[in-house]
């Protein structure tokens, strides 16, 4: 799908200080990206793929926060398998800034672990938490948004999210219902009335018509104190686990840290915390944004040709397309992909696998992974 969101304002953006005092950037990079198989695998998830102008999405996320958080205050949270691969993907990133989750337990335990790590060394910190696999442009405007959110979060009690103005009735995104403005500053910030999960099409159409519903970007800004207080309201079990992790980190007790992490409820941070928090604000996302959720979304990073074909070729790959339209092609390695007289296909070719499917079935790639697991073909996972 195309990059969503509104264009930046005509006025020259006010960039954030370099870096912003006491701001820590946490990049969540533990996802598997199964809808990008076969390019994405367990040890090489979507955020490792070169989808950001030839760079891995993870590297683009690191670059995005460079001007607002110093290197010593930028963190990657990921799983053990992906942590082992980081030196080949982002070789300049300091190993000491990698937070390793013992296991995948959704985003609430991930956030709690990051909060614990930062609270142990900087309890007055403000955090920006963002996924590793999004396309966000331009960076200067992103910095302005974060500076705005950090100023709001500086009250020590408000959790801030960013809302993207919807351009169509999406059923694959969560929504934020925005209420009254909190002030007259820009980018606009409003109180959050409620969060809404991924809706049915009819409901999404109603949201679009209402005008006060925004796509939930999955990017958050809050102070350590505010998120810990909100955990206590929304999920006391998560708050208890976070406190136990903080104590374990301060004591240098890895065994206690792992036990505390595993005690955290396996939930999303939206469901466990954000939906129950008493003080939440949403700042308008004044950037171009896309979460690149599946292969058809590559039109956000590979401009289609006159026939609507989007091609992303890396490592010597190329494509020849004749009398073909509205296809998505992803290729790696020295190979040529040739399409003749076809329409609306996804074609993916990597070292040991090729995927061909209709674009409207690209969301169903997980079914292939389930079949491979059933056949014991773990080398392809």
Q: Where are the domains of the chain?
A: 23-290, 295-380
Are the C-beta atoms of residues 3 and 298 closer than 8 Å to each other?
no
Give dist(CA 111, CA 242) in Å, integer: 9
What is the separation of C-alpha 101 from the centre of its chain, rounded to a whole number of angstroms?
Answer: 17
For domain 23-290, the question of CATH label 3.90.25.10 is answered with: no
- In the chain, what is the straight-line distance between the N-terminal and C-terminal CA atoms, in Å? 26
How does strand 175-181 pair with strand 213-223?
antiparallel
Whole-angstrom CA distances from 361 to 47, 125, 321, 322, 357 are: 22, 44, 21, 23, 6
* pTM (two decimals): 0.90
Give dist(CA 360, CA 365) in Å, integer: 11
Residuewise pLDDT in 10s, the chain (381 residues): 333 344 444 333 444 445 566 899 999 998 877 889 999 998 899 999 999 888 999 999 999 999 899 899 999 999 999 999 999 999 999 999 999 999 989 999 999 999 999 999 999 999 999 999 999 999 999 999 999 999 999 999 999 999 999 999 998 899 999 999 999 999 999 999 999 989 999 999 999 999 999 999 999 999 999 999 999 999 999 999 999 999 999 999 999 999 999 999 999 999 999 999 999 999 999 999 988 888 998 988 888 999 999 999 999 999 999 999 999 999 999 999 999 999 999 999 999 999 999 999 998 999 999 999 999 999 999
């Amino acid at each position: 799908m195309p990059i969503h969101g509104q264009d930046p304002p005509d006025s020259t953006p006010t960039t954030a200080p370099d870096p912003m005092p006491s701001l820590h950037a946490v990049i969540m990079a533990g996802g598997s990206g199964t809808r990008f198989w076969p390019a994405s695998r367990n040890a090489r998830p979507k955020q490792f793929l070169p989808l950001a102008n030839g760079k891995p999405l993870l590297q683009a996320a690191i670059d995005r926060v460079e001007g607002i958080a110093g290197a010593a205050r930028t963190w990657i949270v990921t799983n053990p398998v992906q942590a082992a691969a980081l030196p080949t993907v982002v070789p300049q990133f300091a190993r000491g800034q990698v937070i390793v989750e013992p296991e995948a337990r959704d985003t609430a335990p991930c956030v709690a672990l990051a909060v614990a790590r930062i609270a142990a060394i900087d309890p007055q910190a403000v955090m920006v938490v963002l996924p590793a696999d999004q396309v966000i442009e331009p960076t200067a405007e992103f910095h302005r948004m974060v500076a705005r959110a950090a100023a709001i979060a500086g009250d020590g009690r408000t959790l801030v999210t960013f809302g993207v103005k919807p351009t169509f009735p999406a059923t694959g995104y969560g929504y934020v219902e925005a209420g009254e403005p909190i002030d007259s500053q820009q980018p606009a910030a409003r109180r959050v009335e409620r969060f809404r999960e991924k809706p049915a099409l009819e409901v999404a159409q109603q949201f679009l018509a209402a005008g006060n519903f925004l796509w939930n970007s999955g990017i958050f800004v809050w102070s350590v104190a505010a998120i810990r207080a909100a955990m206590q309201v929304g999920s006391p079990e998560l708050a208890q686990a976070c406190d136990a992790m903080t104590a374990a980190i301060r004591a240098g007790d890895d065994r206690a840290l792992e036990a505390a992490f595993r005690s955290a409820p396996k939930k999303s941070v939206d469901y466990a915390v954000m939906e129950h928090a008493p003080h939440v604000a949403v700042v308008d996302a004044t950037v171009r944004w896309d979460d690149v959720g599946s292969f058809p979304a590559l039109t956000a990073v590979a401009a289609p040709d006159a026939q609507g074909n989007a091609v992303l070729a890396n490592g010597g790959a190329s494509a020849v397309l004749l009398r073909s339209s509205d296809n998505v092609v992803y290729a790696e390695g020295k190979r040529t992909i040739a399409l003749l007289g076809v329409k609306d296909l996804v074609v993916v070719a990597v070292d040991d696998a090729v995927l061909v499917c209709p674009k409207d079935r690209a969301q169903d790639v997980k079914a292939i992974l389930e079949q491979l697991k059933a056949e014991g073909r773990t080398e392809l996972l």
